Structure 1
Amino acid sequence: MEAAADDANKIDETKKCQKCEQYRDWVMQYSPNVVFMLEQIQRAGGSVPKDKISCEICKDPKYGGFHPELGIQLCANYIPDKWVLNDTLSHELIHWYDNTRFKVDWLNLRHHACSEIRAASLSGECAIMTEFWKHAGFMRVARGHQRCVKRKAVLSVMGHPACKSKEQAEQVVDEVFRSCFNDTRPYETIYR
């Protein structure tokens, strides 16, 4: 019985990874944001080989992550569709861009917070309509984008091994928020 359950689970995981790879390939070809970020990373002197964007089964509930040496991890078991993968990949590519362009010290909480602020703001995941639909219309439009960016940056910084508390994450995000939020590179401007 256990062997059959394990086999069924492996088949399900394989299907999720294959679907994730289809989504990844589609957004890498057709998503304006993803295509733009891939071009900007190349202009900054980097490259993003497709084999460095992997679809995997993740233990922690998240959509993905970036590691400067390993690349981008997309969590096939948590990404429900290509639109979520698009936002996730856009977010992680901003980290890749920051790492290429600015030589981020990922062990430094302020550096990490800055890249998280930029990624949440520039990736589209905090766009007004995205937040509106996620929160059933209860979000106030004024400053909603900034609140979303702060919330997501704090959550990411809390996951950093050097972060000791939510309060510390909030403090670090607050310290760098203005300058990092206003830095829209490589975009000239962003729409919110």
Structure 2
Amino acid sequence: MSDDKTSPSPNSKEASGFVPGDDFTAQWINYFRLAFGRMTDDGECQWKKARDLRKEATDCAKCEKHRDYLLNYSPIIRFMRQNINKLGGDLHSENIRCRRCDTRQSGGFEKSYGIILCANELRDQGHVEDTMAHEMIHAYDHLRFQVQWRDNLRHAACTEIRASALSGECRWTREFWTKGQYKVTQQFQECIRRRAVISVAGRPECKDDVQAAKVVNEVWDSCFSDTRPFDEVYR
């Protein structure tokens, strides 16, 4: 049975609440609708994409400024870079690239490309530092342990556990201010597990969250206790 009422397209302004346009009026309407819950999830995605496109040059320039400063002055970034050099690798401003990302992640590592920093997702210099450290630990693991990225979920789980544990991204202060995590006891381990499961579950060869959690649990003890190249958890 057909319905005489015509529903708006899911991508239409009426359905999503998003108003296209870079002019002042369109931007403020979108801010208002988002703030008061008058925009759907699809509308919010459209708004974020439009915002990221509009700010792409500014975001990338700020990201590159932070990256270059950290390469020269950050203790953890300098330490990781030195240890990667010892294994025959080299990470520098030419293969640590700031880009606009369509996925909602802060960065990524690819063995033949280097590191990508998602400029539109990075809040400040501290966030850039944590992201660079995380991806540099992946680079270190790739060189030191010959990680099988696409064929071995246990390898993927292990390097994700190590990257979250050693980069500093799971320290209590960051979880408190960005994730609203108020627990002190076991917060560090819970953050690492959560991030590792999410990362493993996002891989094409992983069936679902259940399999991801199972794999993370299987390698947890050995990988969580492995702090190389640090003597202990850095921060």
TM-score (norm 1): 0.91
Task: State the alpha-carbon separation in 1 of the partners of residues 99 and 88 from structure 2.
Answer: 27
Amino acid at match of 2:209: K
State the AA in 2 paired with 1:174. N
Amino acid across the alignment from 1:125? E
DSSP-derived class of the 2:97 partner? strand
Listed as ranges, the gaps of 5+ residues in structure 1 are none
| Counterpart Cα distance in 2 of 1:143 and 1:9 | 35
Pair 1:119 & 2:163 matched:
yes
CA-CA distance at 1:137 after TM superposition: 5.6
Q: Return the offset for 1:109.
A: 0.7
Alignment-mate amino acid for residue 169 of structure 2: E
Alignment-derived partner of residue 177 in structure 1: 220
Q: What code does the residue aligned with 1:124 have?
A: G
Q: How far 1:50 sits from its partner (Å)?
A: 2.1
Matched, 1:27 2:70: yes
Equivalent position of 1:190 in the other structure: 233
- Decide whether the 8 Å contact of 2:52 with 2:120 is kept in 1: no
Q: Which amino acid aligns with 1:12?
A: K
Query: Superposition pairs for residues 62-101 of structure 1, below 5 Å?
Result: 62-101=105-144
Shift of 1:12: 2.2
| 1:134 correspondence with 2:182 | no
DSSP 3-state at the match of 2:91: coil
The 3 A distance-change label for structure 1 pair 49 and 31 is closer
Equivalence for 2:100: 57
Residue 11 of structure 1, CA deviation: 5.8
Query: 2:52, 2:100 within 8 Å by CA — same for their partners in 1?
Result: no
Percent identity at matched positions? Answer: 45
The 3 A distance-change label for structure 1 pair 117 and 137 is: closer
Q: Which amino acid aligns with 2:158?
A: C
SS in 2 for 1:77: helix
Structure 2 residue runs of 5 or longer lacking an equivalent are 1-19, 24-50
> Greater CA radius of gyration, 1 or 2?
2
CA–CA distance in 2 between the matches of 1:118 and 1:137?
Answer: 21
CA contact 2:71–2:78 (8 Å) conserved in 1: yes
TM norm structure 2? 0.75
Q: Which runs of 4+ in 1 moved over 4 A?
A: 2-5, 8-11
1:136 offset after TM fit, Å?
A: 4.1
Q: Distance in 2 between matches of 1:41 and 1:23?
A: 20
Give the superposition deviation at 1:150: 0.4
Question: Which structure has the higher relative contact order (CA within 8 Å, separation 6+)?
Answer: 1
1:167 aligns with 2:210: yes
Alignment RMSD: 2.0
Q: Cα 1:142–1:3, aligned 2, differ >3 Å: closer, same or farther? A: closer
Q: Take 2:138 and 2:153, find their aligned partners in 1: how far apart are those partners?
A: 14
